[in-house]
Amino acid sequence: MLPVKRTSKTRKRNRRSHHALRAPQLVSCPNCGSPRFPHAACRNCGYVRPGLSLKTNEDE
């Protein structure tokens, strides 16, 4: 079955206007200052929150 009317470029582009990707949000680590993702452990020092840190390869 075919559509009755062809979808115009404007209608199609308006529908797809929310499909754009956003740049990842980064915050600075309060422990070492390097950029990291929010709600994630720091890749440089392993800092998560006060009193909790994850082991990194440098600790071994």
pLDDT score, position 45: 87
Local structure of residue 14 (DSSP, 8 states): H
Percent of the chain whose pLDDT exceeds 70: 85
Give the CA count within 13 Å in the CB-facing half-sphere of 23.
Answer: 3
DSSP run (H or E) holding 27: strand 27-28
pTM listed for this prediction: 0.53
Q: Taking 90 as the threshold, does the pLDDT of residue 20 lie above it?
A: yes
Does residue 45 belong to any structural domain of this protein?
yes
pLDDT for the residue 37:
93
Residue 58 maps to a domain: no
pLDDT at 54 (0 to 100): 62
Question: Which two tokens mark 37?
Answer: 């993702």
Q: Which domain holds residue 47?
A: 24-51
Residue 16 has pLDDT above 60, yes or no: yes
In a domain, 3, yes or no: no
The reply to whether 46 falls in a domain is: yes
Q: Determine, yes or no, domain membership for 34.
A: yes
Residue 60 lies in a domain: no
d(CA 16, CA 48): 37
Structural domain includes residue 8: no
Q: Total domain count for the chain?
A: 1
Check pLDDT > 60 for residue 25: yes
